[in-house]
């Protein structure tokens, strides 16, 4: 797992345009002859652009924006791509200074596209990175199309899974109370894509977890998707149902990647995911016939041949243009790796946040949803209509009610604490709930250990307790031993649960003798 984590970090580093030439301040109408049309990459609706949670700036063909160079994989022609689409970390204006170190730019760049790392990949060379990038784009496109279609999909029975690692992860997820469904998500791009759906059969919350995988080897695709689902199932759920339920009524609250995971964990959205179940059962070999031997045969054993073959599968699906942007920086070159992002106009992009999804202006998605009664509007689920049939009007952020927190009162707060926190609270109460120490009685009796007083902290005030303090306090020695009317000088402190004064301090006579201290005690007594 460590090499994978290192390569993932290098891939994320490619999202910053450190060493790429940038063409600034050009409108699309001025560079249309040698540029990718931004409108073919998916558009935002006017409702999204007007909403306060939107993070993009409206644009058209007259808007001046920044561009970077890529090349078309079909004819090798150099083409300009919107910079914040090619580099999803483009808002950070980091550049190289004269010492080749990263320097912060004078201001943040504008966002005309709000992108993610989808389509960014690392490889031993640029062609291999481009190949992995196309597989990931096909995976996201197929998964999102199946999600928006909301129709039953073929599934692979667990009995046809022979990979021991995959079977072990299936048993792990099942042991946590989830049923595992291996759905065939491949559509018009004829690459193996698997959607792993985990449905909770024990508890209503969390309801479902999903992940998708793709690759030349279907077994590897299933293994990768199962690994991500196993991580989601085994990790502790750090959110409550009450915190996420407002997203059902107001989908604009879905703003981050984590919000999508939390949204799918609600019982109200279970049916939205399980609607894909009930399709025919197909064996693994029948679901993806000829793979991975098909890629090896068509490529001739060369990565360039594999890249050309996968690009032809995109063209068969109506995606004729594939532009490759080289994201390799000096750090990547020093490590001997390359990072690339494939830009495919017309493909369904994966963007996180209800206001950031670009689903308008995509003919393939519109054709896939035709006849299903579904629209390609941005939504994590179907929009909730009101009783009169009209859709709810999105509220502004400042008018939106805050997510419900802990109820008022100690009892309500305790009910919403995690189990581990409750255990700590109970143990702390057992420690601090003991009786206070009556110092006067103890000094008179000459005992070596604390003697419990007649009442506990928090009892009604009893003047006979010996310390005469306010109700709910007990005597705690706060200084060195000094002679007084009762032989002690005592201070009064209110006990604080879990604090340093919550337990009676040990009296000086009870402290264990340290080496060399006996003669000092005798001298002090004399």
Query: What is the chain's length?
Result: 526
Domain residue limits, the chain:
2-399, 434-456+463-493
pLDDT at residue number 20: 82
pLDDT in tens, 331-383: 999 999 999 999 999 999 999 999 999 999 999 999 999 887 776 666 544 33
Q: What angle do CA 25, 26, 30 make, to 5 degrees?
A: 160
Distance from C-alpha of 173 to C-alpha of 178, rounded to nearest angstrom: 6
For the residues of 490-518, what is the DSSP string, one character each?
-EEE---TTSTTSSPPPPGGGSPPPTT-H
Distance from C-alpha of 210 to C-alpha of 274, rounded to nearest angstrom: 11
User: Strand 208-214 relative to strand 22-27: parallel, antiparallel, unpaired?
Assistant: unpaired
User: Strand 94-96 relative to strand 64-72: parallel, antiparallel, unpaired?
Assistant: unpaired
pLDDT in tens, 78-136: 999 999 999 988 876 666 665 556 665 656 677 899 899 999 999 999 999 999 999 99
- Percent of the chain topping pLDDT 90: 60
Q: What are the C-alpha distances in Å from 387 to residues 59, 391, 392? A: 36, 9, 10
User: In 150-292, which residue ranges form alpha helices assigned H by DSSP?
Assistant: 164-175, 218-234, 241-244, 246-249, 257-264, 270-274, 284-287
Cis peptide before 206 (omega within 30 of 0): yes
User: Which position has the token pair 């504008």?
Assistant: 110
pLDDT at residue number 104: 59
pLDDT in tens, 53-87: 999 999 999 999 999 999 999 999 999 999 999 99
How far is C-alpha 130 from the geometric centre of its chain's CA atoms? 26
User: Which position has the token pair 């409750």?
Assistant: 422
User: In 338-435, which residue ranges form alpha helices assigned H by DSSP?
Assistant: 363-369, 410-415, 419-432
Q: What angle do CA 37, 368, 359 make, to 5 degrees?
A: 40
Q: What is the mean pLDDT of the chain?
A: 78
User: Is 322:312 a contact under the CB 8 Å cutoff?
Assistant: no
pLDDT in tens, 424-478: 444 444 444 444 444 344 444 444 444 444 444 444 444 344 444 333 333 333 3
Distance from C-alpha of 129 to C-alpha of 109, rounded to nearest angstrom: 27
Distance from C-alpha of 516 to C-alpha of 52, rounded to nearest angstrom: 72
327 band by pLDDT with thresholds 50, 70 and 90: very high
Distance from C-alpha of 56 to C-alpha of 115, rounded to nearest angstrom: 10
Terminal Cα distance for the chain, rounded = 70
Which residues have CB under 8 Å from 35's CB, separation 6+? 28, 67, 79, 80, 81
Here the tokens at position 97 are 């200074």
Here the tokens at position 362 are 């995509």
pLDDT at residue number 513: 46
Greatest extent of the chain over all pairs of C-alpha atoms, in Å: 103
Q: Strand ranges (DSSP E) for 382-490? A: 474-476
- The secondary structure element, H or E, covering residue 293 is helix 293-299
């Amino acid at each position: 797992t460590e090499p994978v984590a290192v390569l993932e970090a290098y891939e994320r580093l490619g999202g910053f345009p450190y060493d790429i030439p940038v063409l600034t301040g050009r409108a699309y109408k001025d560079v249309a002859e040698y540029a990718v049309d931004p409108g073919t990459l998916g558009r935002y609706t006017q409702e999204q652009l007007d909403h306060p949670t939107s993070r993009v700036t409206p644009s058209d063909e007259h808007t001046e924006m920044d561009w970077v160079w890529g090349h078309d994989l079909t004819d090798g022609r150099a083409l300009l791509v919107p910079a914040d689409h090619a580099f999803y970390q483009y808002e950070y204006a980091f550049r190289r200074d004269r010492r080749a170190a990263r320097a912060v730019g004078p201001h943040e760049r504008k966002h005309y596209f709000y992108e993610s790392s989808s389509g960014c990949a690392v490889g031993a060379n640029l062609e291999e990175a481009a190949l992995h990038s196309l597989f990931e784009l096909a995976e996201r496109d197929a998964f999102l199309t199946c999600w928006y279609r909301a129709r039953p999909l073929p599934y692979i029975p667990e009995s046809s899974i022979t990979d021991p690692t995959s079977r072990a992860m299936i048993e792990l997820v099942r042991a946590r109370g989830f049923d595992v469904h291996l759905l065939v998500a491949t559509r018009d791009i004829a690459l193996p894509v698997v959607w792993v759906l985990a449905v909770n059969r024990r508890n209503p919350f969390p309801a479902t977890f999903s992940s998708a995988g793709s690759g030349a080897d279907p077994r590897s695709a299933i293994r990768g998707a199962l690994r991500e689902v196993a991580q989601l199932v085994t990790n502790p759920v750090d959110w409550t149902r009450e915190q996420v339920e407002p997203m059902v009524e107001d989908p604009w609250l879905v703003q981050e990647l984590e919000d999508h995971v939390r949204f799918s964990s609600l019982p109200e959205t279970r049916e939205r995911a399980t609607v894909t179940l009930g399709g025919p059962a197909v064996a693994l070999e029948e679901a993806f016939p000829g793979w991975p031997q098909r890629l090896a045969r068509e490529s001739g054993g060369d990565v360039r041949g594999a890249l050309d073959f996968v690009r032809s599968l995109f063209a068969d699906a109506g995606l004729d243009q594939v532009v490759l942007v080289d994201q390799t920086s000096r750090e990547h070159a020093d490590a001997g790796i390359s990072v690339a992002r494939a830009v495919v106009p017309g493909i369904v992009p994966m963007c996180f946040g209800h206001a950031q999804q670009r689903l308008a202006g995509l003919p393939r998605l519109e054709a896939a949803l035709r006849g299903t009664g579904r629209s390609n509007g941005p939504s994590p689920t179907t929009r909730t209509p009101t009783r009169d049939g009209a859709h709810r009007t999105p509220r502004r952020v400042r008018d939106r009610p805050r997510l419900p927190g802990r109820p008022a009162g100690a009892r309500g707060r305790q009910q919403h604490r995690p189990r581990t926190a409750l255990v700590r609270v109970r143990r702390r109460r057992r420690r601090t709930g003991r009786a206070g120490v009556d110092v006067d009685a103890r000094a008179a009796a000459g005992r070596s250990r604390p003697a419990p007083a007649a009442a506990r902290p928090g009892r009604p005030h009893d003047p006979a307790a010996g310390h005469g303090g306010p109700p709910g306090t007990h005597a705690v020695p706060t200084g060195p031993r000094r002679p007084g009317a009762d032989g002690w000088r005592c201070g009064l402190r209110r006990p604080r649960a879990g604090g340093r004064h919550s337990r009676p301090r040990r009296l000086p006579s009870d402290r264990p003798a340290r080496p060399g201290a006996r003669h000092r005690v005798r001298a002090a007594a004399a």
